Amino acid sequence: MQIDTRNRDCGVTPASITNCTKFTPGPEPKQARYGLGIPKDTNYSGILECPCNSRYGGDPMFYPDSQTKILAHKYTIVGSGACPAGELVENATSCFAAATTLGIHASSFVNRTVADPKLPPGCSVTVEPNQTAVVYFNTAGQGNCTAASKRSGEGISKVGVKVAIEVDASDTFDMSPPGQYCENNRKSKIQAFAMKGATLAAAEEARDQCKQFCWDQPSCWGCSVDCESVPYAYGALISACQWNAITSCGTVMKWSGSIRGDISRKQREGGQVTMTLSGPAGGWFGAGFNASAMADSPYTLVVNDAGVTERKIGTCGSEAEHCPGDLLSSSLKVLSSSVVDNVRTVVVTRGLAGITKNHYSFNPYADETIHFITAVGQTQTFAYHRAHGPTQVALTSEGSSSCICDKGLTGRLCETGGVNCAEFEKDCVAAPAGDLKAQQNPTCNSRQYSGGLSCCHHKRIMLDADQEIRPELLRYHMKFRFWFQEYKPATSAAKASHADLPRIYYQTEAHAGEYDIPPAFARPGHPVVGYPQWPVGTPTPGTSCKGSCPDGPDCECVHTITYHWTVSNIRLIYAGGHCHAPSCISIE
């Protein structure tokens, strides 16, 4: 990455290289250095830290009117069971507003506030056969959400890319008639799912929980009923049955019977998904699955005038996340392709399970809300996008209740005016392996984000919109010199001249790609981005201090981040450190 930090007052020509005898910082956006300003005698530009600004990602703390960071509650669909504890939508207004944003496939929405014990508590939605979505806010609910084997949803992004998904999971498990169980139901057990009571509904719930677990476990053969005593009579005051996820069945045994699916054998090749994508016909457009940024390296469908291709994009590493990635082998069957009013629409179908690890695998029991990144191009040739934006699809079943749950406050980083937004949550490592998650480091999600690679993309101006962009063009040359020795292969008389040294690479921030070092203390009237409620006078997470802090002349603070890992069966020949300016004082 190359960032232009040259102060134009110092000149930009070879003749002006000695104009400034020591580092002279140029203008910086308000959010640089957490808004604390340029310190006296600084030896680096705050722009090196890629601060978010009023052009992209700037926090409302500094840019209340730019709409560059939009904070809002994140809602999601739960198809079976209920919302987890603490995730019920609190009021009808939020419930009704959330339902229209989730990507539910409906022609219209009808809102109802009820007190019905048969419906789920809080916020739920039922799509009727006429495609009307009835949204309920229920103050007396005791029921559960239910999902059928066929579900659908659709969403459209601000750049005009529409994604519609229809999932048919009707043949993902071969369900036996009542009265069968596997000989190996205990010997090959992976995990048990017990009934919560002696009722038919409790048996079906336990069976379905086992199926949901089993679908995503490669070693799972299927599920088998397991009862302590047989025959079993529902309603009797005896121990209930359970369904065991198992690696093998053995002989199919008979008993008096429970429910359909006493044995539920996984059919990995079963199920089908139909996808409809539409977008501007004048260029390519695409949608990346289960992603909030290209850095997630998503499975992506790209549509143009030549057809539909499958790719895994953003595969070139943390400093080249906008690369086109890899073209994948086709797993799609194109059902139709048309252009109407300059909108291209394609309909494709494929199996639920991806044909390789790089193809997205749909989980019919867990994929209830799928997040997409979408983009449109300048021409029909797949290249850098001209615009991009997120969308999501909520999969609901016709005639069944789906719960709407509140996952809490989230943030989207946007260009000025709330456009071309992106949202992310990084894979920050939890304790004891690392510190980032425990410290709630601002790099871990877009809600807390203050600056870094996500705000420092290609050709992005790092100054605020109201700061002058000087016209002087900085020209520079880079020269590389490589030292090498010719490789001589091994012969019968001598070993090869060089040994192959495989490279292993570990980072303090593990899988997050970067990390923040926040100010040691929040100041009165000046909270810390990422920790807006952090108490004044208390060291921020990861900070340890000595002396009279925070304002004493002897106050010294250190911010610590650790990551612990283990490697085995290697002989380490060379270890080299790696760090980025301006954080490097030394590496030990």
Render pLDDT for 284-330 as a digit per residue (tens, 0 to 9).
999 999 998 887 899 999 999 999 999 999 887 655 566 788 999 99
Q: pLDDT-derived band of residue 577, with 50, 70 and 90 as boundaries?
A: confident
Torsion angles phi and psi, residue 499, rounded to 5: -95, 145
**Residue 132: inside a domain:** yes
CA distance 197 to 205: 10
Give residue 545's pLDDT: 96
Which amino acid, residue 464? D
Instruction: Check whether residue 278 and residue 362 sit in a common domain.
Output: yes
**pLDDT tens profile 94-110:** 999 999 999 998 999 99
Instruction: Check whether residue 223 and residue 278 sit in a common domain.
Output: no
**Residue 579: inside a domain:** no
Q: pLDDT-derived band of residue 231, with 50, 70 and 90 as boundaries?
A: very low
- Six token digits for residue 9: 């007052």
Please confirm whether the linkage preceding 231 is cis (ω < 30° from 0).
yes
Instruction: Check whether residue 300 and residue 389 sit in a common domain.
Output: yes
Torsion angles phi and psi, residue 364, rounded to 5: -65, -10
**Residue 414: inside a domain:** no
Report if pTM > 0.85.
no
Cβ atoms of residues 167 and 152 within 8 Å: yes
Place of tokens 């899988």: 511
Instruction: Check whether residue 357 and residue 383 sit in a common domain.
Output: yes
Instruction: Check whether residue 184 and residue 237 sit in a common domain.
Output: yes
**Residue 249: inside a domain:** yes
Q: pLDDT-derived band of residue 343, with 50, 70 and 90 as boundaries?
A: very high
Instruction: Check whether residue 262 and residue 278 sit in a common domain.
Output: no
| C-alpha torsion angle, residues 236, 237, 239, 243 (rounded to 10) | 40
Cβ atoms of residues 33 and 520 within 8 Å: no
Torsion angles phi and psi, residue 211, rounded to 5: -60, -40
Instruction: Check whether residue 314 and residue 214 sit in a common domain.
Output: no
Instruction: Check whether residue 204 and residue 237 sit in a common domain.
Output: yes
**pLDDT tens profile 241-279:** 899 999 999 999 998 888 999 999 999 888 999 999 999
Final residue of a structural domain among 365, 386, 407: 407
Instruction: Check whether residue 255 and residue 281 sit in a common domain.
Output: no
Whether the predicted pLDDT of 174 surpasses 80: yes
Final residue of a structural domain among 365, 394, 423: 394
**Residue 119: inside a domain:** yes
Q: pLDDT-derived band of residue 536, with 50, 70 and 90 as boundaries?
A: very high
**pLDDT tens profile 27-82:** 999 999 999 999 998 989 999 999 999 999 999 999 999 999 999 999 999 887 78
Going by DSSP bridges, is the β-strand pair 132-138/108-114 parallel, antiparallel, or unpaired? parallel
Cβ atoms of residues 388 and 375 within 8 Å: yes
Give residue 184's pLDDT: 96
Give Cα 316 distance to the centre of its chain. Answer: 18
Number of separate domains in the chain: 3
Cβ atoms of residues 510 and 428 within 8 Å: yes
Q: pLDDT-derived band of residue 236, with 50, 70 and 90 as boundaries?
A: very low
**Residue 21: inside a domain:** no
Angle at 202 between CA 197 and CA 206, to 5 degrees: 115
**pLDDT tens profile 414-464:** 999 998 888 888 889 999 999 999 999 999 999 999 999 899 888 899 999
Between the alpha carbon of residue 67 and those of residues 59, 70, 488, the distances in Å are 9, 6, 60
Whether the predicted pLDDT of 232 surpasses 70: no
Give residue 463's pLDDT: 96
CA distance 571 to 549: 45
Give strand pairing partners of 307: 304
**pLDDT tens profile 113-153:** 999 999 999 999 999 999 999 999 999 988 888 878 888 99
Percentage of the chain modeled with pLDDT above 90: 69
CA distance 157 to 339: 19
Instruction: Check whether residue 215 and residue 311 sit in a common domain.
Output: no
Supply the range of the domain harboring residue 181: 173-266
Mean pLDDT score, 211-218: 91
**Residue 306: inside a domain:** yes
Instruction: Check whether residue 177 and residue 136 sit in a common domain.
Output: no
Mean pLDDT score, 576-584: 71
**Residue 211: inside a domain:** yes
Q: How many residues does the chain have?
A: 588
Instruction: Check whether residue 347 and residue 329 sit in a common domain.
Output: yes
Give residue 318's pLDDT: 57
Final residue of a structural domain among 366, 394, 422: 394
Give residue 574's pLDDT: 82
**Average pLDDT taken over every residue of the chain:** 91
Element (H, E) at 350: strand 343-351
Give the DSSP letter of residue 437: H
